[in-house]
């Protein structure tokens, strides 16, 4: 069975575990190096990107996680997790670090404050269908390289890029874990099964 870690330092851990269970993947809470080393893929959930950065360093997980991703570990970052996977941030704080797994620039809190949270129908580009999505203080992608595949756009916000993939790394602006649509998680699980 595919073992998918959920970084359990902050964010929607249970909701990601529920999505993984629907896909018959085993979930593992990751707080320690041994747990990180035991998984076939990992999810970096939403939360607060500056806090996630600090906690990864405090738990001595930042460098090992970055190294595993560079070595091909499939990774999904949702909301703040998208920020953590970017190479550049607009609106970050002094000294904020990212894992640099996707060659893109993201804007923190692009959709506004907590009170500006919204639910919209996105265009899921791989098959042209719609996807229901929830944005909570979400980032969006401002720039990306040719190596990055755009997976979803939000027409309600001017065609904002809200889901991308580069190799083994997937990132979404929205909280894919709080819907019953498991396409994003299925993409991660499929990557883990083929790596």
Check 15, 16, 35, 79 and give the catalytic one. 79
Alpha carbon distances (Å) from 164 to 18, 55, 68, 76, 183: 22, 25, 20, 10, 13
Other Cβ atoms closer than 10 A to 112? 12
Annotated catalytic, 94? no
Annotated catalytic, 121? no
In this structure, the dihedral spanned by the alpha carbons of residues 18, 124, 132 and 49, taken in order and rounded to 10 degrees, is: 60
Check 16, 157, 175, 185 and give the catalytic one. 175
Annotated catalytic, 79? yes
In the three-class reduction of DSSP (H, G, I as helix; E, B as strand; rest coil), residue 1 is classed as coil
Q: Report residue 195 as tokens.
A: 């790596």
Check 16, 35, 177, 185 and give the catalytic one. 177
Q: How far apart are CA 36 and CA 164, in angstroms?
A: 23
Residues recognised as catalytic: 79, 175, 177
């Amino acid at each position: 069975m595919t073992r998918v870690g959920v970084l359990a330092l902050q964010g929607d851990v249970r909701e990601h575990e529920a999505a993984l269970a629907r896909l018959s993947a085993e979930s593992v809470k990751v707080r320690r190096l041994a747990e990180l080393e035991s998984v076939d893929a990992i999810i970096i959930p939403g939360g607060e990107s500056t806090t996630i950065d600090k906690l990864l360093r405090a738990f001595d997980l930042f460098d090992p996680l970055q190294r595993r991703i560079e070595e091909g570990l499939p990774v999904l970052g949702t909301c703040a997790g998208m920020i953590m996977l970017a190479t550049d941030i607009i609106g970050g704080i002094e000294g904020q670090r990212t894992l640099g797994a996707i060659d893109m620039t993201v804007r923190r809190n692009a959709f506004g404050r907590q009170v500006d949270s919204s639910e919209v129908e996105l265009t899921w580009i791989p098959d042209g269908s719609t996807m229901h999505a929830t944005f909570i203080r979400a980032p969006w992608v401002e720039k990306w390289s040719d190596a990055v595949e755009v997976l979803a756009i939000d027409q309600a916000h001017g065609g904002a890029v809200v889901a991308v993939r580069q190799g083994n790394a997937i990132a979404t602006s929205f909280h894919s874990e709080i819907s019953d649509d498991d396409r994003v998680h299925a993409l991660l699980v499929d990557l883990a099964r083929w790596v």
